[in-house]
Amino acid sequence: MRRREFIALGAGAAALPVAASAQQPKVITIGVLVHSAPGWQRFWQMFPAALSERGYVEGRNIRFEFRSDDGDLSRLPQLAAGVVGLKVDVIVTWFTPSATAAKQATREIPIVCALCGDMIGTGLAESLAQPGGNVTGSTGLTAETSAKIVELIHELIPATHRIVALVNAPDPFSKSFLKEMQLAGETTAIAPIMIQNPDELDTVFSAMVRERPDAIVAQPSLPTKRVAELALGHRIPAVCAFHEFAYEGGLMAYSSVEADMYRHAAELVDKILAGAKPADLPVEQPTRFELIINLRTAKALGLALPQSLLLRASEVIE
């Protein structure tokens, strides 16, 4: 071997360890799919923060492929297919329609529901303890939640006989939502109104003048701000199982503590990236709840809130 070739080979060999040591660690890619219902911004603030507590920092060892349907549920299947095509490591979904679209798009990529409705009733999981398949996560709205909402309405308005359930028909969770409301209202008439399109809300509320309900319970995936505005304009007490509703002008919101759900989602992502299978990771049910009351709305409706209810509230908006 010529001396010049030997020197070149030696220099190249010496460079190998340096090149190897300069290799960057693998950057994990998380697909994020959300239904753009009110409150998704809170999820998008809190979930990445929960991941960072576990050492996943955007721009260093993780990156996000974020997709939103901008309030149009019909866009979710195409968005989910696009995320799957990117071959992400995990898909994290917010709200049931997003999780359903993701599951229909892939049976292989792990899916974590950061906040979903009835995961068994909607077919996302086989059971809470053993989800099976490629989906696990947190279920934030249960039959117990619906029962508590009906109980709170009765505490506020003891003479309640008829409650309207505003159901977001295109949402896969709508059947479970209505079933849970009807089970919760065993002694109260639960009148369902199926909303096919948000544009129907104005007409629906105008029609309520003829047969006025004592209260309204809105499914969280509806445009809740518009529901709150219309309910106040027609002087009908309205409640929703979603934190944001009370801030939008709704009378009350009773829901699971969101931060708990998002921390658990981050924990599940961490376990999956370490090798765990979604099929073996139990679905989390909420253990902590918060009641938020909008006192301004109560006064506008002419309702005197019981002191016992105010004392139990996590927050009172004055």
Q: Considering all CA atoms of the chain, what is the largest pairwise distance in Å, rounded to the nearest integer?
A: 101
For residues 118 and 115, what is the distance between their CA atoms, to the nearest angstrom? 10
CA distances 312 to 21, 286, 291, 308, 315, Å, are: 57, 18, 7, 7, 9
At CA 40, angle to CA 258 and CA 31, rounded to 5? 100
Considering the domain architecture, whether residues 32 and 123 belong to the same structural domain is answered as yes
Residue-level pLDDT at 19: 44
**Would you say 43 and 9 are in contact if contact means Cβ atoms under 8 Å apart?**
no
For residues 317 and 300, what is the distance between their CA atoms, to the nearest angstrom? 13
Residues 6+ away with beta carbon under 8 Å from 100: 76, 122, 123, 124, 172
Considering the domain architecture, whether residues 282 and 243 belong to the same structural domain is answered as no
Q: Does an H or E element contain 74, and which? A: none
* CB hemisphere CA count around 169 (13 angstroms): 9
Q: How many CB atoms lie within 10 A of CB 104?
A: 13
Residue-level pLDDT at 187: 75
* CB hemisphere CA count around 309 (13 angstroms): 24
Considering the domain architecture, whether residues 132 and 160 belong to the same structural domain is answered as no
Q: In what order do the strands lie in the sheet with 162-168?
A: 189-195, 162-168, 215-218, 238-240, 252-256, 289-294, 315-317
Considering the domain architecture, whether residues 249 and 262 belong to the same structural domain is answered as no
Residue-level pLDDT at 40: 87
Is residue 32 in some structural domain? yes
Range of the domain at 163: 143-256+290-317
The count of structural domains within the chain is: 2
Considering the domain architecture, whether residues 124 and 190 belong to the same structural domain is answered as no
Is residue 4 in some structural domain? no
Residue-level pLDDT at 118: 86
Considering the domain architecture, whether residues 229 and 184 belong to the same structural domain is answered as yes
The residue among 219, 110, 97, 224 whose CA lies nearest residue 164 is 219
* Ranges under pLDDT 70 in the chain: 1-25, 141-143
Is residue 2 in some structural domain? no
Residue-level pLDDT at 18: 45
